[in-house]
Structure 1
Amino acid sequence: MRARRRAGCAASLWPCRASMARSVVDAPGGEDNNAVFPIGIAAMSNLKSRCSGAAWPDYQGGGLLNLMQTLSWELGGPDLGYPPLATDVLAGIGHHRHVCLLLIDGLGAAQLRRLGPETRLNLRRRATLSSVFPPTTTAAVTTVLTGQPPARHGLIGWHQLHGEEIIAPLPLYVRQPAGSASAPQQLADTLFSAPPLFEHFSRPAFLMLPEDICHSPCSRHHAGSSMRLPYRDSEDAFVQLTARLYSPVPAFHYLYLRQMDTLMHEIGPDDEAAARLLAELDGDFGRLLDAAKQNDAAVVAIADHGFVAAPAEQWLDVDEIPELYSLLARPLSGETRMSYCHVKPGCMERFIELARARLGHACWVEPSAELLAAGVFGPGPAHPDLAHRCGDVVLIAKPGWNLRDTLPGERKLQLAGTHAGVHPDEMEIPLIVYRP
């Protein structure tokens, strides 16, 4: 182990709980928007000035959260308490017999324009929205399924701190410590707290999910009492959904498609194979619209996030900088484009100084409290563990860069395409609408 002892810092590498960042969102009175809004404006202004060119989420009418507020209103669900979409393209959508929400994982606005400019999907794009922060499946899909921002549902990365363990919230495994006895259902019971949204719509809701995750603890919680329907592949998914549109009973249908995301992680977001896969999905989409036209079905298609290329020479191994890594109380969590750092007590100032000196070419080094105060995770009241999960410092990768550490027993992660940062290509998602 390459830890180095530094005066004023705890000596061991992983044993202690990091000091919590405290911010306005989890302070007493944080539920009062009038109390926190001026501070949020100032903090966001400062953040934008430090992170040149970054794209931050819109929670005021132009984002994924606002889409879910509007859909909930239109479909007889609860008022979630957030501004509706600024655009009126979904006004009255609840009058249609069927309403379909297709979530095409990873198909950001930039990818749709570049890979399929003449596709039906792109030609029916009515607006460009922002995802949430971080723009990644864990945070964004949970916002879709609960109608709550990451600040409230508390799922903020592929890996995140839960209690004293670093876990993966979707597949529900423990990354650290090794040999943890925590089982997936046990983790789910203590991790998932935001109630599911779709079961509260005034019409039956059906969730169509890949068969290997359809009955997982994560899917069971976020579907609630709504029916979950497994599918084998995208062709099977569209066949099933098309058949359901012929029912005379009004319904809401949610279809989650992950094929684009899987492929772009493997080959990158600009490969010709991604364009071919998009063309196949677009053909399925066109056939779905034929059935929708016959059956008074509205179809909305969105993404959870976009993508950026991840050049192999721009992966930075934080654990290979021992004077910096030894200041951490536990491994990195979050994502390779956005990492949460839990720093040993008394070491934060030194960590920020060293990180900016050694990593500043590759990432912005931001105190977690600044991000919380700026409201990048969305409006509160915040999840009680949000500040603890964010740690003390957040490393936000600059264009082209990825950050990683590798624990014993892990293979070094290398992907051709990534997301979860603040490049516009990661943050911007399309709003695609068909109404008969």
Structure 2
Amino acid sequence: MAVAGLRTSPLPPTKKVGMNIPDLFCFFEHNFMKTTNLPGEFIPPDYFGGSIANIPATIASLLQIPFDGLPPLLEPMWLPISDQVERIVVLLVDSLGWDMYQQSKTDIGWLSSRLEIEAKITSVFPSTTVAALSSMWTGYAPAQHGMVGLRLFFPREATLASMLRFSPTFASFPNSLIDAGIKPEAFLQVPGFAQSLATYGIKTHSFKGYGIAYSALSRMLDRGVFETHGIVTAADLFVQLRDLLEETTGQLLYVNAYWPAIDTICHAYGPRHPSVGAEIMVTLNLLKTEFLDRLSPKAKKGTVLFITGDHGHVEAPVDQIINVDEEPTLNEMLLMRPAGEPRTPYLYARQGCQKSLLNYLKEEYPDKLMAMPSVQALTSGLLGPKPHAPDIAQRLGDVLATMRQGYNLLTRQEVEVPKLMKGRHGGMTAAEMEVPWLGIHLNS
């Protein structure tokens, strides 16, 4: 007997669009290895089937619907739990790096015994939340959707702006870019993944912190979302998530549940602080006790759970800060404050200083950063394959620098804040780029 809402016959196979996997492999093999000399400790993003940007296409494949975007994750990362999938939950734990997950496994032994998929994938580049979430909510790489960093330059408005506050960086005027005529819903240059799912009658639910549920960034990401759920604590998240699955048994569903506490702790204390491991243990044990253990067999039917992170973290020692205001030669070559991230700044050179700026960075800081012309970063595919967003080049400035070890490029104002961040991300080290991809079919 057919159950209302459940698919009784498969939809057409997932449509292949753009580059296929072999083509993408050749693209990255050629461009990364031959046009960028990446330091040995750097891990480039794996857009051809091994990154968080490939998650939307994976979900589409599991739900047997077409999708225009990057290809799915490689089949071993989802095919073993692809039988009779009707509902998918992705728990996105902000800053859950692969190394953190490995260090916490003894405290979450129950999870290891339940896992059917355990793989290591990469973040996007830059490895920062705004870029990563935009990729996970669209299925495109940063250069394609256009959200390439925390701080972006808006030439028409003549301002450098924070994409979390949607406000100029020099003062906090939350959402003031909206007053300038920039609509969050139109900022990303590709369709929202929830919009694609809605076309096929699949409802998307988004869970995130109560205070950010309707922020400008959430309005960018949640296009097409059926319902946004504000949460207060991790326990609240899993109780609400359980209630949703119980209330929607038999319905096609995609759920994205975002939990930010680990990222907050890493920024405050550093990724090696004991509170980080404790938070991972508490969060994932709550997932078991308040969600998995209490979910009815009816709600588990046809449901798959994935757990991943958007990026990892590195320690940010105070003796590994490059203060741009204390570097007069560097400062004189810059037109404005750096955009992007402290770990991956986008530098705008004064007129005629582009080449001098690049050479200076390479000669003065060879062990502290890697620098390249921003156009090279684009053409190499570091931020994703073509087609790129129309205005992407102007968002990357003239020179892109990516910091090595725990170095950060900061301004005087950033150095003098009362509580300097002890952990950061945005670069290309393994600790920042590698995240877990864990899967469980709840029928099992």
Same fold (TM over 0.5): yes
Q: CA deviation at 1:144?
A: 0.6
Local SS of the residue matching 2:352: coil
Match of 2:262 in 1: 260
Match of 1:7 in 2: none
Greater displacement, 88-97 / 354-363? 88-97
Residue ranges of structure 2 left out of the alignment (5+ in a row) = 1-17
Counterpart among 65, 68, 82 of residue 80 in structure 1:
68
Local SS of the residue matching 1:242: helix
Q: 1:84 to 1:38 in 2, by over 3 A?
A: closer
Spell out the pairing of 1:372-411 with structure 2 (5 A cutoff): 372-407=378-413, 411=417
Q: CA deviation at 1:48?
A: 5.2
Spell out the pairing of 1:327-406 with structure 2 (5 A cutoff): 327-406=333-412
Match of 1:217 in 2: 216
Contact 2:165 2:172 in 1 (8 A): no
Contact 2:53 2:136 in 1 (8 A): yes
Match of 2:3 in 1: none
Q: CA deviation at 1:97?
A: 4.2
Q: CA deviation at 1:32?
A: 8.6
Q: CA deviation at 1:239?
A: 0.7
Distance 1:58 1:151 in 2: 14
Q: CA deviation at 1:40?
A: 5.7
Match of 1:195 in 2: 191
Verify: 1:237 aligned to 2:243, yes or no. Answer: no
Q: What are the Cα deviations for residues 255-300 of structure 1, in whole angstroms up to 9, with x where unaligned? A: 0100111111111111111111111101112122224572222111
Verify: 1:138 aligned to 2:130, yes or no. Answer: yes
Contact 1:99 1:299 in 2 (8 A): yes
Contact 1:199 1:225 in 2 (8 A): yes
AA paired with 1:222?
L
Spell out the pairing of 1:242-253 with structure 2 (5 A cutoff): 242-247=242-247, 248-250=249-251, 251-253=253-255
Local SS of the residue matching 1:270: coil
Q: 1:139 to 1:376 in 2, by over 3 A?
A: same
Q: CA deviation at 1:356?
A: 2.2
Q: What are the Cα deviations for residues 281-339 of structure 1, in whole angstroms up to 9, with x where unaligned? A: 01112122224572222111111001111112111112211111111111101111111
Match of 1:12 in 2: none
Counterpart among 46, 69, 83 of residue 58 in structure 1:
46
Greater RCO (CA < 8 Å, at least 6 residues apart): 1
Distance 2:391 2:365 in 1: 28
Match of 2:104 in 1: 115
Spell out the pairing of 1:160-309 with structure 2 (5 A cutoff): 160-163=152-155, 164-175=158-169, 182-184=176-178, 186-189=181-184, 191-201=187-197, 202-226=201-225, 227-247=227-247, 248-250=249-251, 251-287=253-289, 288-292=291-295, 294=297, 295=299, 296=301, 297-309=303-315
Q: 1:234 to 1:181 in 2, by over 3 A?
A: closer
Q: 1:77 to 1:210 in 2, by over 3 A?
A: farther
Distance 1:206 1:422 in 2: 31
Q: What are the Cα deviations for residues 334-362 of structure 1, in whole angstroms up to 9, with x where unaligned? A: 11111100111211121122222332231
Distance 1:413 1:47 in 2: 39
Q: CA deviation at 1:147?
A: 1.3
Local SS of the residue matching 2:439: strand
Q: CA deviation at 1:399?
A: 1.1
Q: CA deviation at 1:182?
A: 4.2
TM-score, normalising length from structure 2? 0.84
Distance 1:96 1:54 in 2: 36
Q: 1:359 to 1:375 in 2, by over 3 A?
A: same
Verify: 1:421 aligned to 2:420, yes or no. Answer: no
Q: What are the Cα deviations for residues 33-52 of structure 1, in whole angstroms up to 9, with x where unaligned? A: 99999776444114553423
Counterpart among 56, 60, 74 of residue 68 in structure 1:
56
Match of 1:27 in 2: none
TM-score, normalising length from structure 1? 0.85
Match of 1:14 in 2: none
Contact 2:62 2:82 in 1 (8 A): yes
- After the TM superposition, list the runs of 4 or more consecutive aligned residues in structure 1 that deviate by more than 6 angstroms: 31-39, 177-181
Counterpart among 101, 118, 124 of residue 90 in structure 2:
101
Contact 1:292 1:299 in 2 (8 A): no
Distance 1:267 1:177 in 2: 25
Distance 1:386 1:405 in 2: 24
AA paired with 1:402?
N
Match of 1:152 in 2: 144
Contact 1:343 1:351 in 2 (8 A): yes
Greater displacement, 364-373 / 218-227? 218-227
Q: 1:387 to 1:177 in 2, by over 3 A?
A: farther
Q: What are the Cα deviations for residues 164-213 of structure 1, in whole angstroms up to 9, with x where unaligned? A: 32111232111159999943463334633332112332421110111111
Contact 1:116 1:275 in 2 (8 A): no
Q: 1:217 to 1:408 in 2, by over 3 A?
A: closer
Contact 2:56 2:193 in 1 (8 A): no
Greater displacement, 186-195 / 58-67? 186-195
Q: CA deviation at 1:98?
A: 2.8
Distance 1:58 1:316 in 2: 29
Q: What are the Cα deviations for residues 52-74 of structure 1, in whole angstroms up to 9, with x where unaligned? A: 32110001111112222111232
Q: What are the Cα deviations for residues 404-435 of structure 1, in whole angstroms up to 9, with x where unaligned? A: 12359983872111111111111011001111
Distance 1:127 1:140 in 2: 18
AA paired with 2:187?
L
Q: 1:177 to 1:384 in 2, by over 3 A?
A: farther
AA paired with 2:428?
V
Distance 2:167 2:23 in 1: 38
Distance 1:244 1:180 in 2: 32
